[in-house]
Structures are given as structure tokens and as C-alpha cells.
Amino acid sequence: MGMKTDEKLIMNGKRLDGRKKDEIREIEMKVGVIPNANGSAQVRFGDTVAIAGVYGPRPLFPKHLQESDRAIIKCRYNMAPFSVEERVRPGPSRRAIEISKVTRLALEPALFLEDYPETVVDVYIEILQADGSTRVTGINAASLALADAGVPMKDLVVALSGGKINDTLVLDLCGKEDNYSDADIPIAFMPRKKEITLLQMDGELTPQEIKTIIKNVLKAGEEVYKKQKEALMKKYEE
């Protein structure tokens, strides 16, 4: 983790894009962007854009895949070939398979899956533009799409990345920061009870640094949560 770069990622307390260390990028969220999905959302953090579509709950076939007492949720995270400068090879990479899995695990605790036995909820996440923190951007979009689909939820899932660059703890890493960071921690949580549903770490941090990042993410996540709720309200006002 953490390739070396000669470029200073932080100068005079300012990051490459002019942000302070605990400042998150400009956020844009909207729901109902895919007409034929049961629920959908588009989320943008700076130059990272994710779109999510939810289909279901619908009967799951073949029958032997069904769970008799609850719905199963399937997630597919994918980077569009045009999302980065060097075209992504089509088809699921090991990274995409891993992110699909952790995304499912991050969303599952928020859903009342037992309300829909023998069904499946399909969640598709497509990264349209990648500039760091794509998995957390995708989780925010998926959480909104599930709510838009009317799947019963205990709470929305908010996701944000934290990390360390040039010995400074930061929030919401952009692409370059992601590539050259000393460490990067994607976190997802349910804000009402501050229940963490995803916590991964790449790189090295002290236990104290990890605690600080989690605390900062939970605090800044309130702003993301507010944006999610506004996006949902806006659809119903229209």
C-alpha cells in the first residue's frame, strides 16, 4: 500500500484539491435515475460518480437457492470501462468481486430481509467515474436505491473513507490520495445507532489513529446522512 510520489499531497494544511484534512468533497445525490429499476440512485463525491439500481424483492429461481425464512441480497459492483483513464478490462476482477461482497455485508444489517422469504433483492452498482473512494460512494448509492425501492430498512447506510497521507489523518480520499496514501479505511455505518457495518483497512495505522479516523468519519457522516434524506424527500416532493 502507499506508492511513493514526489508530489506533496498536503501543503500548508491544504490538500491537492484545496480541502482541509477533515473536509469532504462536494456531494450530489439523486434518486429515481433508472426508470425500469424498482429503486435507483446516483451519488457523486467530487469526481467519483456511482449509480445503483435495485431490482426486487422478487421470487428467486431456481428454488434451491431460496432461503425459506428471509430474502437474500445479491450485490454486483462494477467499474465501467470508461470510468478511469486506462480502460478497465470488462468482466469481474478479483477486486470487484471482493467489493461486491463487502458491499452486501455492509447493507445487510440495515434490511428487514425476513419480511420477504424466498425472494432475492438484486443490487447493481456501476462506477461511472472513478476518482478515489469508489466503494464507499457505491454503498451510499446502493443504500439510497434500496430506500427508493421501498425495501424496509432499519436505517440508511452511510459510507465514507478515512486515511492517512503525509502523516496527516484525512477524510474522503480522492484518487491520487488513495494511490499514495499511507493507509486508507473505508467505513460504512447506520447513523442512528452508530452501528458500523463495514470497516476495512489497507496500510498501517496505530490503534489510536484508527479510533480518531472512525470518530471523524462518524461525525462527517452526519452530513452525508442529511444529503441522503434530502435526496429521498426531494423525490416525494416532486
Residue with cell 457522516: 221
C-alpha 141/C-alpha 28 separation (Å) is 11
Q: Is 102 helix (H, G, I), strand (E, B) or coil?
A: helix
* 54 within 8 A of 34, measured Cβ to Cβ: no
Residue 12, sorted as left (phi over 0), alpha (psi -120 to 50) or beta, turns out to be left
The pLDDT score that the predictor gives to residue 5 is 56
Q: Which residues of the chain have pLDDT under 70?
A: 1-7
Question: Which residue type does 98 have?
Answer: E
- Domains of the chain (ranges; CATH) run 17-237 (3.30.230.70)
- The pTM for the full model equals 0.95
> 78, 77, 76, 102: which is closest to 89 by C-alpha?
78
CA of residue 81 relative to chain centroid, distance: 19
Give 212's Cβ-side CA count (13 Å radius): 13
> 44, 62, 42, 64: which is closest to 54 by C-alpha?
42
